[in-house]
Amino acid sequence: MKLRELAHSRAGDKGDTSNLSLIAYHDRHYEHLRRHATAAAVRAHLGDLVRGDVVRHELPTLGAFNFVITHALGGGVTRSLAIDAHGKSLSSALLELEIPDPDDGAAPMR
Amino acid sequence: MTRSAIRLGAGAGYSGDRIEPAVELVERGDIEYLVFECLAERTIALAQQARRRDPEAGFDPLLDSRMRAVLGAAVARGVRIVTNMGAANPVAAAERTATVARELGLGKVRLAAVCGDDVLAHVLEGDYRFEETGTAVRDLAGRIVSANAYLGVGPICDALGTQAHVVITGRAADPALFLAPLVHEFGWAMDDWAALGQGTVVGHLLECAGQITGGYFADPGVKHVPGLARLGFPIGEVEANGDLVVTKVAGSGGCVSAATCKEQLLYEIHDPAKYFQPDVVADFSKVRIEEIGPDRVRVVGGTGAAPTGMLKVSVGYVDSYVGEGQISYAGTGAVARGRLALEVVRERLRITGVRMSESRFDLIGVDALHGARDRRGAAEPYEVRLRVSGRADSMHEAARIGNEVETLYTNGPAGGGGVSKHAREVVAVQSVLVPAGAVTPSVRIVEARS
């Protein structure tokens, strides 16, 4: 299934660095997301969309993660030639990541 | 006398934001403070250029309209306004606001302008390097247009201490616009890191206005938000210990939920345990968020540690010139004609010797946002829009890029229409860190009488 079925996301920008939050709709899916939405998985998923590294911060109290991605915005919001210079739509790209169904067998939670 | 709780409203999340939600907050929000955060990273550099052309300019272009819409009701109800709409010229912004107050016949109105964020001279004299690239600032000396420090709550509290109805800053840390009223009202010590950290949570959550009340959140089928066309802006109810309830005016559009608050808490932050601010290094990592009623969410647990003693300074400089052109194709074979057109423009730019340091060739609707993603099974789009964008070192050279898209009309594939083209100067922003002691903020009072 796509990440979109278990979590939501918002992109933010500071200079050439993008941050993508990933927030579980239900706390019980946090561990599943922690296992499958790793920094490495996200880095591979975004491919050549971004040039830098992906660091994942964990926020178990909120059932959330924050992915910080360097060299993600074509030299920075103020310089980028991209149609979406802020990388606002990268949150939607993140949520396309394919992950296994959670083990609890529950229907996708919305 | 210190209050036991105050209500802060966020009247704008960016310079061009809607105006009626702020009016609604003043008239029906039962708030004590209305904060307008309107200054994006690069805006102040553009404002600085405007001020150089006209000494009376350089503040937010919507200042007049916003003040005209809210000032009367705010003065009548004792709602104090805090805003960074001063941009590159807070004193001129205060004077313009005084003019609005006189024209509205509001009696005695006091405006306070917070100055001193302009540190261009200091940065040019110093031996600074950009945080992003490590380049020496002086290597760009002839192209630098601005350097503004992110001020903390100190001068904003000083301004509030003058009993001003309106406090207008230039560059200040966005959360400080909200944190300052809390420090002012509750008398928080400037080394009470827990309070300053939680106060930063308050500011960070509210500063983008509608982004916490359901704006920028809706996703049909997954995340439902009612009434986006008349979205209500947020109110923060803050207790003297910093505990926060986020809500909005009853009956307004949008929604406040744990999910909207979580998205905004993590918006534009890096390490949640280290959110660097002028007055505190805030720690969001232990924040707890709980829905306590309809459109009422309680947010507690923010904390912090002593600040670094360095202030972030945004340096604006003329980086380059960007030219762009677009044209559309429709019907069967639209994608093929779009691709052919891209190849034609690519070759033309080479043949005619347009000098570009960087370029992009996109088909909007096909690969413009995220490149050629896996689209197996997807039918071809009925229409595509070609977009060519390139970086050059002069406006003249940049304009040639759009021209080569325009010539597709009579020289390119069949059926191209709707050309648009433009070229612009790019003022980019990088940052340096400056010792807080090198920045000396001050407050200027402007009185309006009518």
Alpha-helix residue ranges (DSSP H) falling in B78-220: 90-103, 120-125, 154-161, 176-186, 193-206
**Of A8, A15, A59, Cβ closest to residue B223:** A8
Contacts of A26 in chain B (CB under 8 A): none
Is the pLDDT at B269 greater than 60? The verdict is: yes
CB contact under 8 A, B263 and A83: no
Cβ contact, residue pair A78, B41, below 8 Å: yes
> What's CA B244's distance to the chain center, in Å?
23
Chain A CB contacts of B222 below 8 Å: 4, 8, 110
Q: What is the number of structural domains in chain A? A: 1
H-helix or E-strand spanning residue B71: helix B63-77
* Residue A75: predicted pLDDT: 84
Tell me whether residue A99 is in a domain: no
Indicate the pLDDT class of residue A77, thresholds 50, 70 and 90.
Answer: confident
List Cβ neighbours of B66 (8 Å cut-off, separation of 6 or more): B11, B12, B19, B22, B36, B60, B85
- Residue to substitute from B369, B375, B431, B432, interface A, most A β-carbons within 10 A: B369
Q: B113: closest CA among B82, B143, B139?
A: B82
CB contact under 8 A, B319 and A64: no
Nearest CB partner across the interface for B426, out of A57, A79, A93: A79
In-domain check, residue A48: yes
A with B: how many residue pairs have Cβ under 8 Å apart? 114
User: Would you say residue A100 lies in a domain?
Assistant: no
pLDDT band at B370 (very low <50, low <70, confident <90, very high): confident
- Residue B377 has what pLDDT? 63
- Average pLDDT of chain B is 95
Inter-chain touch B222–A8, beta carbons under 8 Å: yes
Min CA distance, B256 vs chain A (Å)? Answer: 15
Percent of chain B whose pLDDT exceeds 90: 91
**Residue A103 falls within a domain, yes or no?**
no
**With contacts defined as CB-CB under 8 Å, which chain A residues touch B428?**
76, 78-79
Q: Is the pLDDT assigned to residue A95 strictly greater than 50?
A: yes
How distant is the Cα of B64 from the closest Cα of chain A, in angstroms?
A: 27
Question: What are B446's two structure tokens?
Answer: 């402007």
Q: How many CB atoms lie within 10 A of CB B390?
A: 28
Query: pLDDT tens-digit profile of B126-148?
Result: 999 999 889 999 999 899 999 99
> Which tens digits make up the pLDDT trace of B22-41?
999 999 999 999 999 999 98
Q: Is residue B398 a contact partner of residue B12, using CB atoms and an 8 Å limit?
A: no
What DSSP line would sit under B270-310, residue for residue? SSTT-EE-SS-EEE-TT-EEEEEETTEEEEE--EEE---SE
Which structural domain range is residue A32 located in? 3-94
pLDDT, position A78: 85
Residue with the larger pLDDT of the pair A103 and B87: B87
Unique residue bearing structure tokens 């009185």: B447
**Are B266 and A14 an interchain contact pair (Cβ–Cβ within 8 Å)?**
no
Does A54 reside within a domain? yes
Are A15 and B287 inside 8 Å of each other by CB? no
A106: pLDDT strictly greater than 60: no
Q: What is the pLDDT of residue B41?
A: 85
The answer as to whether A21 is a domain residue is: yes
User: If we measure between CA atoms, which residue out of B191, B186, B212 comes closest to residue B201?
Assistant: B212
* Residues from A in contact with B at Cβ < 8 Å: 4, 8-10, 12-17, 19, 21, 23, 25, 47-49, 57, 59, 61-64, 66, 68, 76-79, 81-84, 89-90, 93, 96, 110
Max Cα–Cα distance, chain A, nearest Å: 46
Does some domain include residue A84? Answer: yes
* Spatial CB neighbours of A49, under 8 Å, sequence gap ≥ 6: A72, A90, A93, B370, B371
C-alpha distances out from residue B256 to A9, B31, B263, B419, Å: 16, 17, 11, 42
Residue of B nearest to A16 (CA): B132
User: Does pLDDT of A79 surpass 80?
Assistant: yes
Cβ–Cβ below 8 Å for B370 and A83: no
What average pLDDT score do residues B99-112 get?
A: 98
Q: Which of B225, B262, B297, B374 to mutate to test the interface with A (most CBs of A within 10 A)?
A: B262
* CB within 8 Å: B268 and A13: yes
CA distance A57 to chain B (A): 7
pLDDT of B273-313, one tens digit each?
Answer: 999 999 999 999 999 999 999 999 999 999 999 999 999 99
CB contacts, 8 Å: B362 with chain A? 83
Query: Across the interface, which of B263, B273, B319 has its CB nearest the CB of A21?
Result: B263
Q: How far apart are CA A21 and CA A34, in angstroms?
A: 13
Instruction: Please tell me the distance from the alpha carbon of residue B172 to that of residue B189, in angstroms, as a whole number.
Output: 20
The answer to whether residue B7 scores a pLDDT higher than 80 is yes
In a domain? residue A52: yes
pLDDT digits (tens, 9 = 90+) for B192-232: 999 999 999 999 999 999 999 999 999 999 999 999 999 99
Q: Is the pLDDT of residue B1 over 60?
A: no
Residues in B closer than 8 angstroms to A29, CB to CB, are none
pLDDT tens digits, one per residue of B44-100: 989 998 998 999 999 999 999 999 999 999 999 999 999 999 999 999 999 999 999
Of B223, B266, B289, the CB nearest to A21: B266
Q: How confident is the model at residue A110 (pLDDT cuts 50, 70, 90)?
A: very low
Report chain A residues whose CB lies below 8 A from the CB of B266.
10, 12, 19, 21, 23, 59, 62, 64, 66
Provide the CATH number for the domain around residue A20: 3.30.70
Cβ neighbours of B431 in A, within 8 Å:
15
**pLDDT above 70 (res B412):** yes
Residue B416 has pLDDT above 70, yes or no: yes
Q: How far apart are CA B231 and CA B214, in angstroms?
A: 8
